[in-house]
Structures are given as C-alpha cells and as structure tokens.
Amino acid sequence: MEETGCKDCRYYLPVDVFRGMCKLSKDPITPDDPLCAAMEHIPKCKFCAYYTTDKDYLGKCMGSILAYPDMIASKCADFKWDKQN
C-alpha cells in the first residue's frame, strides 16, 4: 500500500504539483497533507482490486498491463474497489 494524503481524496483540487485546495473548505492544502475525517477516497489504481504492485510507484493492471498506483481511475471502466484497502 502506497502512502496516502489529501491527493487521494475526491475533494482535493490540485492547483499544481506542490499545492491545491480543499473543495469542501476552500482551504489551501498540499497533496501530502494528512487525510481528514471528511475525506472520501477517489478511485485510484492503488485502491483497485485489479492492481498489483511491482516496485515503488509501478505495478500491473490485471496482471499484465503497466499501471501506477497514483493514477486516478474515476473514468476507468474496469475499476473495482479493493475491499482490503
């Protein structure tokens, strides 16, 4: 399991690679700030049942296709929440 932070929340609005804002509070936050109680995970490969980790920041989708954990998968037709996460 990769590290998590505000970047994993559906209410995180990225401005750039350094910072963003919370869609709920409009407060400035960074992608690595700790998740709060209001957080809801956004679909990402690392939360998907079909994702397996190979090495740091790289893995496989369905056992064969190159994938990476932080890819937002909201529009991936095959995304399936991994209940273990």
Partner 1 sequence: MPDKTQAHVNYYGSEPDAEVASRDSKRQPTARANAARELYFEAKSSVSMEFPYWYTRRWEQLEGEIPIIRRAEALKSGFEHLTATIYPGELLAMGKASYLRGSFPMPWLSEAFFMAAEDDLYKEAQESGKLTADTFTTMGKGGGNVTKSAGRVISIAGKFGLRVEEMPVMIEVAKKWKDKSVDDIGHKYEQLVPGYKEKEALMRSVICMFDSGYTLPQGREVMNYYYPLQFGIDGIIRNCEDGIADVAGYPGMDRLYFYKAVILTLEGIKQWIKNYAEEAQLLASIEKDEKQKNEYLELAERLEWLSSKPPRSFHDALQMVWLFHAAVQNEDAISGLSPGRIGQVLYPYWQRDIKNGVLDREKSLELLECMRIKFTEIDCFASMGVVGGVLSGNTFNNLCVGGLLKDGSSAANELEMLILEAGITCDTPQPTLSLLYDEKLPEEFLLKGIECTKIGTGYPAWVNNQVAMEFLLGNYAHEGMNPEEARAWGIGGCLETSPGSWMPLEIDNEIHWIPGGSAPATSVGVHFLNLPKLLEVTLFDGMDMRTGQRIFPPHGYALETYDETWQAFKDYFSRACHVLTLTNNIQHDAWRKISPSLVNSMLKPDCLAKGKDIGQMGCRYNTTFNIESCGTTNLVNSLGSLKMNVYTEKNYTLNQYREAILANFGYQTAQETGSYSLIDQVPTGDYHNWKKIHSQSLGAPKFGNDNPFVDAILKDWEDWFCDMAHNYRSLYDQPMYACQISVSTHGPMGAVTLASPDGRLSGTTFSDGSVSAYPGTDKNGPYALFNSATCWNHAQSQNSQLNIKIHPSVVNGREGSRKFLELIRAYLRKGGFHVQFNIVDSRMLKQAQAEPDKFRSLLVRVAGFTQYWVELGKQIQDEVISRTEYEEL
| Closest distance of CB 38 from partner 1, Å | 10
Any contact of residue 49 with partner 1 (CB under 8 A)? no
Residue of 27, 29, 69 lying closest to 46 (CA atoms): 69
The rounded distance, in Å, linking the Cα atoms of 47 and 49 is 7
Which residue, 60 or 83, is less far from partner 1 as judged by CB?
60
| Closest distance of CB 85 from partner 1, Å | 16
Any contact of residue 74 with partner 1 (CB under 8 A)? yes
Any contact of residue 72 with partner 1 (CB under 8 A)? yes
The rounded distance, in Å, linking the Cα atoms of 69 and 61 is 10
